[in-house]
Amino acid sequence: MSAIVKSTSADDWDVSRVRQDFPILDQQVHGHPLAYLDNAATTQKPRTVIEAMDQYYRRDNANVHRGVHALAERATADFEAARESVRRFINARSIREVVFVRGTTEAINLVASSFGQGLHEGDEVILTAMEHHANIVPWQLLRERTGIVLRVLPITPAGELDRDALPALFTTRTRLLAMTHVSNALGTINPVKEVVAVAHEHGVPVLLDGAQALPHMRVDVQALDCDFYAFSGHKLFGPTGVGVLYGRERLLEAMPVYQGGGEMIRTVSFERTTFAGLPHRFEAGTPDIAGAIGLGRAIEYLEGLDWAAAQAYEHRLLEYATDRLKAIPGLRIIGEAADKVALVSFVMDDVHPHDMGTILDHRGLAVRAGHHCAMPVMTFYQVPATSRASMAFYNTVGEIDRLDAALRHARELLA
């Protein structure tokens, strides 16, 4: 008798059931059902996240790590439980490696500002040509302060990293490689594990911008062997205002503090201040307590999903959307990497992406139009902007059909 091997497929994903977890999806926009296709900008929140934050403010609100009263103890316990949820989710070795920040942008600024203090004139940082501004500008600011040199790994016309160009970028002065795991403008999933291995052969630590990766895949920072991993709660079905910097403990230990104030100290006198241990020494001031609790709940929600089925389903959405959009005359997809998340950036002849976005909005379709805070990518493709449909596991094939019809309508109207 042969064993029955069941492989997970997109059919195992019950999208109608999952949509019920997201109350915001059930609404009309301009007389049409909302089709929310702007998930790379921010994802929607499941009911359980909204309830966790509501309950915190209704029942437990207090400052953390300070009070001795019951509410303060509850708030502190829930806040630190959220940190443990993050640790488990990304498989960090210890909660000491999980620093709460405002989001990906602050996480990268923290590294540029603190780790960056150890960099000197002529030291080099490698970036890639598909970075979000959040992983460009902090390094330029550091360059202004210290005279470091930025080296940029190019991309190919398909929107993939030019891996062959990587080895030559390393020199004896390379101090860090900072790159995105998934491109927000192109959807490309970068071979980060491989890049980390190459960087480590050169003794160079790696920071990964995971803002667009975590919402689509499980990430294990130990398996990737990265040194820093940054992400935002709001792109991970959690609230705005909170994010995470994962850092390898050895590196965080050696880094100077980032901001000064309460929470991050051990003792203060006018002569001398000593600092708290990890991770609190990087968390000055009252943190976003409700945000962290909401993020912890979002992670618990995600852990309860059939992740393999969700990924297969998203992949089917991507293939379907790609095929449908490619068939529209005058439409060009920007970013055709072999490995992509469910995100399609495109331009249409003679139609400005902003006009396109407005027309789609009138049909209840939410997409983003613009440079997506990735202007070097736009320059590379010689376009001022693109329209971008970015999907999550709660989107449907029916919504893609509506996008297809609306794009054809826009073309008739404007082109």
Binding site for ligand C6P (CB under 6 A): 40-41, 103-105, 132, 134, 180, 184, 209, 211-212, 232, 368, 372-373
Tokens 């795991």 sit at which residue? 181
What does the alpha-carbon distance between residue 218 and residue 110 come to, in Å, rounded to a whole number? 24
Find the shortest distance in angstroms from Cβ 296 to ligand C6P: 17
What does the alpha-carbon distance between residue 222 and residue 249 come to, in Å, rounded to a whole number? 12
Residue 373 among the catalytic residues: yes
SS3 273: strand
Taking Cα atoms as reference points, which of 112, 170, 111, 169 lies closest to residue 139?
A: 112
SS3 34: coil
Residue-by-residue DSSP string for 166-202: SGGG--TTEEEEEEESB-TTT-BBP-HHHHHHHHHHT
Cα 138 from chain centroid (whole Å): 17
Find the shortest distance in angstroms from Cβ 122 to ligand C6P: 27
Find the shortest distance in angstroms from Cβ 152 to ligand C6P: 16
Find the shortest distance in angstroms from Cβ 388 to ligand C6P: 8
Find the shortest distance in angstroms from Cβ 237 to ligand C6P: 13
What does the alpha-carbon distance between residue 184 and residue 400 come to, in Å, rounded to a whole number? 19
Q: Measured at CB, which residue is nearest to ligand C6P?
A: 184
Find the shortest distance in angstroms from Cβ 106 to ligand C6P: 7
Pick the closer one to ligand C6P by CB: 60 or 239.
239
Token pair listed for 345: 């950036």
Find the shortest distance in angstroms from Cβ 333 to ligand C6P: 17
Pick the closer one to ligand C6P by CB: 46 or 243.
243
Pick the closer one to ligand C6P by CB: 13 or 258.
258
Contact (CB, 8 A) for 179 and 195 = yes
Residue-by-residue DSSP string for 294-307: HHHHHHHHHHTS-H
What does the alpha-carbon distance between residue 415 and residue 409 come to, in Å, rounded to a whole number? 10
Pick the closer one to ligand C6P by CB: 134 or 148.
134
SS3 101: strand
Find the shortest distance in angstroms from Cβ 176 to ligand C6P: 16
Pick the closer one to ligand C6P by CB: 10 or 130.
130
Q: Which of 217, 373, 383, 397 is catalytic?
A: 373
Residue-by-residue DSSP string for 1-25: -PPPPPPP-GGG--HHHHHTT-GGG
Pick the closer one to ligand C6P by CB: 103 or 116.
103
Cα 24 from chain centroid (whole Å): 21
Pick the closer one to ligand C6P by CB: 13 or 346.
346
Token pair listed for 272: 């001398």
Token pair listed for 75: 């708030």
Token pair listed for 208: 């990964």
CA angle 408, 414, 415 (to 5 degrees): 80
Pick the closer one to ligand C6P by CB: 251 or 373.
373
SS3 292: helix
CB contact set of 279 (below 8 Å; sequence gap of 6+): 83, 95, 96, 97, 98, 99, 100, 252
Residues labelled as active-site residues: 373
